[in-house]
């Protein structure tokens, strides 16, 4: 599913990330561990096609991301990659279901109510559908962010520091939720974090 070869990314004249080789099969869940500034977020951005590597290749579902034309890369990411950001970031002026609808529409998929409701229900937040995103609690917003990452049934889910600022119990729930939902849609899951509490949940790990 995910294959990295000779990857290097420089920023301001300094190499911020270097990975010789890394493979993650389809449907697997793995964690990328490292302290702040080790390049975890940069790695996720490279995998998602938001950054172009200085050297090397990143191949997702058989497609070399950096070789795609910009418009094709955007379409590929919209359709096949779900992203959960550290800041979660929902579009506050939209409602919960509208945040999911935007993700569907940008992927060129029908934004039917059934799909949106089913995705929200799977995460136990069906009742929040009409609520304005700006008014959600942190826990609710996290679930909505995960729902948005899942709504297009992506092949790859990338989560950047999903447990930041969570207590132990919430951390456990968040990680389990991500793993369960990724497994439910057969997606590969990559979690980037400096949080050592996350490591025991994953058999496969990459240290930066």
Partner 1 sequence: MVRLAWRYLAARPLLTALHIVLLALGAGTIALLLLFTGQAEERLERDARSVDLVVGAKGSPLQLILSSVLHADVPTGNIPLEAVERLAADPMVAEAIPISLGDSYRGFRIVGTQPAFLALHHAAIAQGGIFTGEMEAVLGAQVAKRTGLALGATFAGSHGLAAAGGATHGDHPYKVVGILAPTGSVIDRLVTTPLESVWEVHGTHGAAPQAREVTAVLLRYRTPIAAAVLPRRINATTALLAASPAYEGARLMNLVGVGVDALGVFALVLMASAALSVFIALTSALQERRYDLALLRMLGASPAKLFVLVAAEGMTLVVAGVILGLVVGHVAAEALGRWLAASQTWSLTGIAWAPGEAWLAALALVLGAATCAIPAILAYRRDPASVLLER
Q: Give the footprint of partner 1 on this chain (CB under 8 A).
A: 36, 41-42, 45, 48, 50-51, 70-71, 74-75, 77-79, 83, 85, 87, 89, 91-94, 102-103, 106-107, 148
- Judged by beta carbon, residue 21 or residue 91, the one nearer partner 1 is 91
- Judged by beta carbon, residue 85 or residue 129, the one nearer partner 1 is 85
Report which of 203, 197, 204 is spatially closest to residue 165, judged by C-alpha positions.
197
- Judged by beta carbon, residue 75 or residue 131, the one nearer partner 1 is 75
Minimum distance from residue 164 beta carbon to partner 1 (Å): 10
- Judged by beta carbon, residue 131 or residue 173, the one nearer partner 1 is 131
How far, in Å, CA of 135 to CA of 90, rounded? 11
Minimum distance from residue 181 beta carbon to partner 1 (Å): 18
Minimum distance from residue 203 beta carbon to partner 1 (Å): 28
Minimum distance from residue 194 beta carbon to partner 1 (Å): 12
Minimum distance from residue 169 beta carbon to partner 1 (Å): 25
- Judged by beta carbon, residue 42 or residue 119, the one nearer partner 1 is 42
């Amino acid at each position: 599913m995910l294959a990295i070869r000779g990857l290097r990314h420089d920023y301001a004249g300094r190499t911020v990330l270097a990975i010789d080789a890394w493979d993650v099969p389809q449907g697997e869940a793995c964690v990328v561990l490292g302290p702040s500034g080790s390049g975890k977020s940069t790695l996720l951005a490279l995998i998602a096609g938001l950054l172009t590597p200085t050297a090397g290749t990143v191949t997702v579902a058989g497609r070399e991301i950096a070789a795609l034309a910009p418009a094709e890369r955007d379409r590929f990411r919209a359709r096949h990659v779900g992203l959960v950001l550290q800041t979660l970031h929902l579009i506050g002026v939209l409602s919960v279901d509208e945040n999911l609808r935007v993700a569907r529409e940008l992927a060129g998929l029908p934004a039917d109510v059934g799909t949106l409701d089913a995705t929200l229900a799977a995460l136990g937040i069906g009742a929040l559908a009409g609520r304005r995103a700006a008014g959600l609690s942190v826990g609710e917003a996290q679930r909505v962010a995960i729902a948005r990452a899942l709504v297009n049934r992506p092949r790859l889910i990338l989560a950047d520091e999903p447990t930041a600022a969570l207590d132990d119990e919430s951390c456990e729930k968040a990680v389990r939720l991500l793993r369960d939902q990724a497994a439910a849609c057969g997606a590969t899951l990559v979690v980037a974090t400096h949080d050592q509490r996350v490591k025991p949940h994953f058999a496969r790990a990459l240290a930066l």
